[in-house]
Amino acid sequence: MIADSTYDARELIGRPGAGAVTGAVAATLMLALIAGLDSPDSARVWLGDVARVMLPASLRTPASLAVVGLFVHLTVGSLCGALYAACQQRTSTGGLFVVGAFYGFMIWLVGDLILVRLFGVGPQLLQTWSGLLVTVAYGLILATWAARSQKASGRLGPATRPVD
């Protein structure tokens, strides 16, 4: 049975700017989750691995690795959040969480298979179960924001006329 939807699925939930802010917040929460799952030192190692991609060996000090790693981590988190917001259409709340979890899984998969294993750059923690968990949690945080934004708008989307 084919049923016409009561909302326009092409309408996006949020704007990329709001997604960028949410992505930066989610990236910050990722660091706290990394520290909680492994050890407090794991977040520092994560940031150091991220910074090693950007900094030449001559500029690598513990302070520069922490600052540059945090900047790159938040920037990538913000960009991924903006991309999520630019693509997430209105749908059911359950659908938002499935998409968010899948988005986090894909970030982990691309980060692990392409960056770490193929090119040998990026956080080595991506190759662990905790790396998978924190990236899926990142996607679920974005989905939570999308669900709250959709609920705040009071509707799934504008009503549409049946095509027939």
Q: Give dist(CA 114, CA 108) in Å, integer.
A: 10
Q: What is the pLDDT of residue 157?
A: 46
Q: Are 115 and 122 in contact (CB under 8 A)?
A: yes
Phi and psi torsions of 123, nearest 5°:
-65, 125
Domain limits for position 46 = 16-152
pLDDT in tens, the chain (164 residues): 344 445 555 677 888 899 999 999 999 999 999 999 888 888 888 888 888 888 888 888 888 999 999 999 999 999 999 999 998 888 888 989 999 999 999 999 988 888 777 777 667 787 888 889 999 999 999 999 999 988 887 655 444 455 55
Task: Say which residue the tokens 């060996």 belong to.
Answer: 57
Token pair for residue 40? Answer: 């407090």
| Residue 4 within a domain | no
Phi and psi torsions of 79, nearest 5°:
-65, -40
Token pair for residue 2? Answer: 């084919």
| Residue 132 within a domain | yes
3-class DSSP state of 89:
strand
| Residue 141 within a domain | yes
Token pair for residue 62? Answer: 């513990």
| Residue 2 within a domain | no
Domain count, the chain: 1
| Residue 28 within a domain | yes
